[in-house]
Amino acid sequence: MNGWLAGLLAVLFFSPLAFIYARAFAGRLQARAAAGGRSVAAVAVPKLVWPLVLAAALALRLSGSDLAEWQAATGSGTLAATLSLVWFLGSIAAILFFVTIPFVLGRILGAAFALMGKFAGQRDDPLSFGARGFTTDAGTADREGLGRMGFTVAIDGPAAAGKGTIAKRLADHYGFAYLDTGLLYRAIGRVAAERGLDLDDGEAMGAVARALDPAVLDDGSLRGREAGELASRVAVHPAVRSALTEFQRGFARRPGGAVLDGRDIGTVICPEAEVKIFVTASAEVRARRRTAELVAKGRSVDYATILQEVRARDERDSGRAAAPLKAAPDAALLDTSELDIEDAFRAACRIVDASPHHRNGP
Ligand SMILES: Nc1ncnc2c1ncn2[C@@H]1O[C@H](COP(=O)(O)OP(=O)(O)O)[C@@H](O)[C@H]1O
Ligand SMILES: Nc1ccn([C@H]2C[C@H](O)[C@@H](COP(=O)(O)OP(=O)(O)O)O2)c(=O)n1
């Protein structure tokens, strides 16, 4: 078979494996760049040296040419010796063909993804394609993190202000893990309602919170409107809030950085967070966004009802005694009423970059 065709087939054959490796590699490169305050290119380029040497050696070895001919053509001792070394490497790479090709392809693809800013949130879990950052490895953070401090971005604000949108973008951009803490309260509200429990019974809700299995957080329907209402009701109980505190703090201090969004992250959960942002917008703008979001999901809702719900939720979340919604005194205020998603994200990046704790900061 024609050598070029064989090469093309090999690349096609190995591309799925190389892609999986490339995603994880791109995530690691970006996390390293963010942690070290360096550009992605500065981190990625040195990682390409070996794959490129191996690719050249393999191509030379598989070209079918004769080493003696090549050496004779060089006419210099050093070049001839280098050629022998490359030839040797090429032979090893050819023997370990099934290891070499995915490694070479994966690294080159991974560096390209990293330079394009793709898969920044992908960490050491190459086969995960789902939601990220909701898993329970937060408990191991402190053990693993000995000697290496985390970097916490705390995002608080009222419903539909754009907290989650900004938090996810920041996590991807800086290679941090992300926790949507609202999901914890939503899951407790859902479980309690399913079991027919009294949502106003603080002790019973506390027991549900203590027994919460974080695996339920992956349920996409938790993000719906009904779960939001249930969440706001169970969130008033101190027993519920204290049951969730340790999990959230563990997550926040995980090595490599974390972004958490909620209502009390900057005030109660992480008063020591390196960056605190209070994201807000007028009730009317938030109700318009939530209405558009629900209509896009095929729900028939009207703006006036949603506006009423948003106001009621604001009142309950801000008026409760336990960890009410409010901005930490040292939080940066980000009003997104007049900003589109891109502008809001850029404004949040400027806040993070300006933090004296961030290496890119002043
Ligand atoms: N700056 C913005 N401009 C327009 N729409 C936005 C903006 N930020 C968020 N959204 C949209 O508003 C809705 C609520 O945003 P989300 O991030 O879920 O808010 P929160 O987490 O504060 O409840 C989503 O549909 C989102 O796409
Ligand atoms: N850290 C948190 C997160 C959410 N809550 C409560 C209060 C909120 O009304 C509900 C739902 O929060 P969530 O952030 O998921 O809701 P929105 O997306 O902002 O509408 O949970 C809380 O009390 N503390």
The pLDDT-based confidence of 35 (bands split at 50, 70, 90) is low
**Is the beta carbon of 190 within 6 A of some atom in ligand 2?**
no
Query: How far, CA to CA in Å, does 98 sit from each of 103, 186, 328?
Result: 9, 47, 55
CA nearest ligand 2 atom 9, residue: 232
294, with CB counted inside 10 A (0-12, 13-18, 19+), is middle
- In testing the pocket of ligand 1, which one of 168, 179, 222, 289 has its CB within 8 Å of the most ligand atoms? 289
Ligand nearest to the CA of 228: 2
Element (H, E) at 33: helix 3-36
CA nearest ligand 2 atom 6, residue: 232
Q: Does 165 belong to an annotated binding site? A: yes
Lowest mean pLDDT of 58-62, 103-107, 136-140, name the range.
136-140
The fraction of the chain above a pLDDT of 90, given in percent, is 63
Instruction: Work out the average pLDDT over 8-29.
Output: 88
Place of tokens 């690349």: 11
More confident: 7 or 141:
7
- Report ipTM for this prediction: 0.97
Q: Does 164 belong to an annotated binding site? A: yes
Ligand nearest to the CA of 234: 2
- For residue 108, report the distance from its CA to the centre of ligand 2, in Å: 41
- Assess whether pLDDT exceeds 50 at residue 28: yes
Q: Does 161 belong to an annotated binding site? A: yes
d(CA 168, CA 174): 10
Q: Does 160 belong to an annotated binding site? A: yes
More confident: 163 or 116:
163
Tokens of 244: 């969730």
Residues 166-222 pLDDT 10s: 999 999 999 999 999 999 999 999 999 999 999 999 999 999 999 998 778 888 889
What pLDDT score does 196 carry? 96
What are the residues whose beta carbons fall under 8 Å from the beta carbon of 329, sequence distance 6 or more? none
**Collapsing DSSP states into helix, strand and coil, what is residue 277?**
strand
> In this structure, are residues 338 and 344 in contact, taking their beta carbons and an 8 Å threshold?
no
Q: Which domains does the chain have, with CATH numbers?
A: 3-116 (no CATH), 137-353 (3.40.50.300)
- In testing the pocket of ligand 1, which one of 163, 165, 297 has its CB within 8 Å of the most ligand atoms? 165
What pLDDT score does 127 carry? 56
Tokens of 25: 């590699």
